[in-house]
Amino acid sequence: MPKPPNEAMSHRLRHIALGSELAGEVLLPVLLGLWLDSHYETSPTFVLIGTFIALAAVAATLLRLVKSRSN
């Protein structure tokens, strides 16, 4: 049985929001690391730090999502 239009749209919007959140969590720290590396000429130090921060942020978001789904 198909979902009502409002429920289906709400479901899609939640997925778009989650995708945007994950993309921001990855892009912002890495881009900031690139900028800092170019500014201080320390390549690849800040990119690596940004990458690890991004991985931790994505892991925390996914854990939060799994915990909310399991309740």
Residue 1 pLDDT exceeds 80: no
Structure tokens at 7: 């429920």
Q: Look at residue 14 in the predicted model and tell me its pLDDT.
A: 92
Mean pLDDT of 56-65: 96
Boundaries of every domain in the chain: 5-70
- Compute the distance between CA of residue 42 and CA of residue 44 in angstroms, rounded to an integer: 6
Q: How confident is the model at residue 3 (pLDDT cuts 50, 70, 90)?
A: low
Q: Distance (Å, rounded) from C-alpha 21 to C-alpha 13?
A: 12
How far apart, in Å, are the Cα atoms of 7 and each of 14, 18, 40, 42? 11, 17, 49, 49
Q: What pLDDT does residue 30 have?
A: 97
pLDDT per residue as tens digits for the range 7-42:
888 889 999 999 999 999 999 999 999 999 999 999
Place of tokens 């130090």: 45
